Structure 1
């Protein structure tokens, strides 16, 4: 059953005669596209620097690289990176809850943009205290923004059956990738070759531009984007505040004891957060599934959705290592010179979004072309295809990894090819996953279901962090082979179960 937030906004889907559109889509898609583009510029610019900055000056840094980083080893840097990304997506869940129950999606985006800017400015201040505070603020702001932005895209269409819906989310996804493409070229270059903290400051500027764009374009959004669907009552507000303060006090006492006893290490923060990132998704899905207020149809769709969630978690476990395992490989074992021109390793972070921009219009056209002929693959087949490609990408990655074992720096073409394979999988899963989430969301959990979708990223990255913390060599061929095998097997399982999953999806395709 579709959320009333999308079902009750028919006027957004079909502009009046002679009215302006955005590539044939509702005009409100334009400000959302641009806001997300600038927000992703800030996020991916900082992400392109993160792991390289963490290992700078340490034993795993590339020879001759800029110093001034935190001098951590590769394993610790990968664990921090994975936890940071996991927390960004974990906090999308409470971000969606805040949009549903306190501020509404539109106000939530405005506030979150301010928090993100503050976080990047903290990163621009030298020192570990400012660095970790900045990471926390960016994670909180990004979590609040992500689910509410996607929900507002859903508001623009005539319910889940609007044939342009998947295409609209694909265009929105292109905005993400334009920002992600430009960020490493600009922020990465400045951060890696001039000053790390100046690069982080540029990320704050990107978010400021996103906020201005959003405020200018809000008049084109659906009126539903300003509505708080299920306002929090005073009694509930007091209960949530009380629970939050209790848990905060418990954490403060626990870590106070650990710190004053002299036993605190970084793992005391990383491991609990990673475990939390696995427990929370399971708990949230179980709570929604047990909710007796949901209709039988909604319950059935949630059961079908769990299949997509698990597959997505495995996918993101591999895909998100582009900013850790593959980033370090690019920095230390890949030739950073083409046609006599050298470039910083952060530029490789622009390759995936470049492929997305090249291929996303093709995929959007392809799905629509196949739909007109009643031959479009089902969502389950698209997911199975994505799992196959992401697994194959790491099987391919093993080859240059072995070639570089003797100290040889491999051709950049290896990473370009791996990113191409991953991008094909991404376009079969990510925009389709966003769309199917809004289609299958129970009415009671409109914005929150977008948060649930992002929890799949959390689960995948938390597994990566735990593996790294346990001492496994993420850049070793045996670990790559295991991860690749898991992805291919997961895709095969989804494909074999496609008829069962389609039955659970009801009227959603």
Structure 2
């Protein structure tokens, strides 16, 4: 997409109307709010639904298997962003991708809401994975479209957008978690489906007035010849894949363990492939290549951060269920409620960070420095959670305030890294790969959770302290290394601050 077209899109969007930001931020804020409401509501009860006994309304899976499935599912959700980003860049445009993605997500939650068996459960996972891949990277990409590259409101706008994500993430575990855990899992999933439906309605009825041309332009459209060739390859690949699966399962070649290993390989291999294709493309300029090189250490830092943060829905969820005092002064705490802590703290602190970046202006830390702070806080959040086990042992139930403190510290890191990463991605992305680069950003989360699917197997009450200590220590070490190399990385960004 040319710079002239980018400017035309910006001019088509009303630049005032939502807390001093473009009016389109309203549409994107609440669309993502309801999508995250549905996703985090489902996720708050999903791991418990998997390993709770059938008599308690669950699927009765082994606990370790459930934790691995949760990580693999999270990895596939973000990995599917490759498909969503490619379809937006080459065929649909980001606006249509968001709409179709929302429909698939809603259908996936409806499938979960229907009492059934394990097959129906996996069908719902496929729908949600594909739908999130279409919606998640592309709605964030549209946020970047409504600002010019020189607009000082950009980082602040992404922080506000990030508040919308976490406002939905805060409310849904309280509502869906309460109903799903204490009444019926399937009713909780139904509420998640309703949330996505509301988000779709809001997007459809406000996008034309608020977003202008944003999301309607296909930045790198395919020719008719390219479409025929691509669809042929995709069709043949699907047939070959179906045959391979049909043969591999009866022969015992495709098992759960081998599938987890395959996702781990994809989680690491796909980002490498993506970086290589974009770097070598004739459509990528020399300046854009330099920026891609700067993006690599940021991507690695993001993988380490999300490897810790995403364990809030697996290891720390299990920690809340098995290792935490849930009865205090006659009041019963649902383990699902702890999933609201992360978004609650972000809602509370995000405005401070948004104000701080604007107030500091040119004096604010560089992007690599902000990332190093994110890694530092992530590591400290795991160091904190091993303290009660050190003093009281791994057999005693711990005060829930330790979990609260861990979630609080990782949020400080998240606000240094995640919204800044979204903004940096829109700045550093090659013009021909704008939506796909946003998909690449979300691949850092996919890689992290693919790795987690293997790592969570090592967590037991006996290895608890070693587990938290090693992962937390590695994150802190990487934070120090990244901070030391920040000036060098900044130089490769070629004018991007």
Instruction: Pick the TM interval, shorter chain.
Output: over 0.9
**Residue correspondence of structure 1 range 452-463 to structure 2 within 5 A:** 452-463=440-451
Quote how far apart the aligned CAs of 1:70 are: 2.1
Shift in Å at residue 473 of structure 1? 4.5
Shift of 1:3: 6.3
1:38/1:179 contact within 8 Å kept: yes
* Contact kept in structure 1, 2:47 and 2:66, CA below 8 Å: yes
Q: Which residue of 1 aligns with 2:204?
A: 215
Structure 2 length-normalised TM: 0.95
Assess, with a 3 A threshold, how the Cα gap between structure 1 residues 431 and 3 changes in structure 2: closer, same or farther: farther
Aligned to 2:11: 11
Task: Quote the residue 1:347 is aligned against.
Answer: 337
Q: Distance in 2 between matches of 1:278 and 1:232?
A: 28
Answer whether contact 1:32 1:172 (CA < 8 A) is retained: yes
Which of 70, 82, 87 pairs up with 1:98? 87
Residue pair 1:86, 1:461 contacting (<8 A) in 2 also: yes
* 1:255 to partner: Cα distance: 2.1
Question: Aligned-residue CA RMSD in angstroms?
Answer: 2.0
SS of the counterpart of 2:363? coil
Higher mean C-alpha displacement, 75-84 vs 298-307: 75-84
Structure 2 residue aligned with 1:155: 145
Shift of 1:267: 2.1
CA offset at residue 345 of structure 1?
0.5
Q: What is aligned with 2:315?
A: 325
Q: Offset at 1:165?
A: 0.3
Q: Deviations over 1:95-125 (max 9, x none)?
A: 0111111111111111111100111111122
2:353 match: 363
Contact kept? 2:385, 2:406, Cα under 8 Å: yes
Partner of 1:62: none
Deviations 1:327-347 (A, max 9, x none): 000011111234432121100
**Which one of the candidate residues 75, 83, 87 is aligned to 1:86?**
75
Q: Is 1:146 matched with 2:109?
A: no
* 8 A Cα contact 2:83 2:134, kept in partner: yes
Kept after mapping to 2: 8 A contact 1:440/1:505:
yes
SS of the equivalent of 2:26 reads helix
Measure, in 1, the Cα distance between the counterparts of 2:3 and 2:266. Answer: 29
| Structure 2 counterpart of 1:56 | 52
Matched, 1:299 2:289: yes
Q: 2:304 & 2:489 partners in 1: Cα distance?
A: 18
How far apart are residue 6 of structure 1 and its match? 4.1
Residue 115 in structure 1 maps to residue 111 in structure 2: no
User: Which shows bigger deviation, 4-13 or 319-328?
Assistant: 4-13
| Match in the other structure for 1:181 | 170
Tell me the residue number matched to 1:466. Answer: 454
Q: Distance in 1 between matches of 2:4 and 2:131?
A: 26
1:370-449, aligned counterparts within 5 Å?
A: 370-371=360-361, 374-402=362-390, 405-449=393-437
Alpha-carbon distance in structure 1 between the residues aligned to 2:315 and 2:466: 14
Query: 1:240 Cα deviation (Å)?
Result: 1.9
2: CA distance, partners of 1:2 / 1:490: 37
Q: Separation in 2 of the partners of 1:401 and 1:241?
A: 55
1:476 maps to which residue? 464
Between the aligned partners of 1:4 and 1:393, the Cα distance in structure 2 is 45
| CA gap 1:85/1:401 in 2 versus in 1, 3 angstroms | farther
Contact 1:437–1:449, Cα closer than 8 Å, also in 2 = yes
1:192 matched to 2:188? The reply is no
**2:267 equivalent to 1:271:** no
Say which of 272, 276, 283 aligns to 1:286: 276
Please report how far the alpha carbon of residue 489 of structure 1 lies from its aligned counterpart in structure 2 after TM superposition: 1.4
Between stretches 474-483 and 421-430, larger displacement belongs to 474-483
Is 1:74 the counterpart of 2:63? The answer is yes
Does structure 2 retain, via aligned residues, the 8 Å contact 1:403–1:410? no
Unaligned runs of 5+ in 1: 59-65
Deviation at 1:305, TM superposition (A): 0.7
Give the drift of 1:224.
3.3
Question: Helix, strand or coil: the match of 1:224?
Answer: coil
Using the alignment, how far apart are the partners of 2:229 and 2:459 within structure 1? 42
Q: How much has 1:472 moved relative to structure 2? A: 5.6
C-alpha distance after superposition, 1:309-353 (max 9, x if no partner): 110011001110000000000011111234432121100000010
Report if aligned partners of 1:6, 1:160 keep a CA contact under 8 Å in 2: no
Distance 1:406 1:155, change over 3 A: closer
- Partners of 1:152 and 1:222 within 8 A in 2: no
Structure 1 residue 251 and structure 2 residue 241: aligned? yes
SS in structure 1 of the partner of residue 492 of structure 2: helix
Give distance in 2, aligned partners of 1:405 and 1:53.
28
The alpha carbon displacement at 1:270 in A equals 2.4
Change (3 A) 1:377 1:214: same
- Structure 2: tracts of 5 or more residues without a match: none
The DSSP-based 3-state class of the residue aligned with 1:507 is coil
Indicate how the Cα distance of structure 1 residues 224 and 326 shifts in structure 2: closer, same or farther if over 3 A, else same.
same
Quote the Cα distance in structure 1 between the aligned partners of 2:191 and 2:5. Answer: 36
Write out per-residue CA displacement over residues 380-433 of structure 1, whole angstroms, 9 at most, x where no aligned residue. Answer: 111010100000110111123445645321111011100110000000000000
The residue matched to 1:9 in structure 2 has which SS? helix
**Please, which of 28, 31, 44 is the counterpart of residue 27 of structure 2?**
31
> TM-score scaled by structure 1?
0.93
Distance in 2 separating the partners of 1:110 and 1:393: 37
